[in-house]
Amino acid sequence: MAKFSGLARRNDLEGGHWQLVADDGTEYVLEGAAVEAAKLVDGARIEVDGSVDQGALSFAMTGPTLKVKSIKRT
């Protein structure tokens, strides 16, 4: 697991999904039960524990998939 930090963004593409716009500018698609449980707000600063799934396929097509273990607002 690794830590990622940045801004939560709601993307309405393909039915909608949450993204992390990381501090380094990389955009990740957030995936996992912890995402909905976190009740994110667009633009909130967050820290995510998780791992990047390089082999994941997604309809979102907005960046690599970040399999989320936990999220906290910072």
- What's the token pair of residue 60? 């979102």
Average pLDDT over residues 18-35: 95
The pLDDT value recorded for residue 8 is: 97
pLDDT 10s digits, 27-60: 999 999 999 899 999 999 999 999 998 766 665 5
> Higher-confidence residue: 14 or 11?
11
The pLDDT value recorded for residue 39 is: 93
Looking at the chain, how many residues does it have? 74
Whole-number Å distance between alpha carbons of 56 and 39: 24
Range of the domain at 60: 2-73
The pTM is what?
0.87
The pLDDT value recorded for residue 16 is: 86
* CATH number of the structural domain spanning residue 13: 2.40.50.500
Number of domains in the chain: 1
